[in-house]
Amino acid sequence: MINSQTRVTPGEPASFEDAALFHGHVCPGLAFGYRVARRALEECRKGRAEDEELVAVVENDACGIDAIQVVTGCTVGKGNLILHDFGKSVYTFFLRPSGRGVRIAIQQFSTDTLDPGLPALSTKVRDGEATPDEEAEMLRRTRGVVDTLLRIPDDELLDVTQTTVTIPEPARLFTTATCASCGETVAESRARIRDGKIVCIPCAGSYGRGWGKE
Convert the pLDDT of each residue in 163-201 to its tens digit. 988 777 777 788 899 999 999 999 988 899 989 999 999
CATH number, domain with residue 108? 3.30.1330.130
Same domain, 159 and 182: no
Same domain, 124 and 190: no
Same domain, 192 and 146: no
CATH number, domain with residue 183? 3.30.60.20
Please enumerate in sequence order all residues whose Cβ is within 8 A of that of 49, keeping only pairs 6 or more positions apart, or say none. Answer: 72, 73, 74, 78, 80
Q: Is residue 186 part of a domain?
A: yes
Same domain, 152 and 192: no
CB 97 within 8 A of CB 167: yes
* The pLDDT value given to residue 73: 94
* Domain residue limits at 102: 16-164
Same domain, 150 and 189: no
Residues of the chain with confidence (pLDDT) below 70: 1-13, 206-214
Burial per residue of 93-132, b for 16 or more beta-carbon CB atoms within 10 angstroms, e otherwise: bbbbeeebbbbbbbeebebeebbeebeebbeebeeeebee
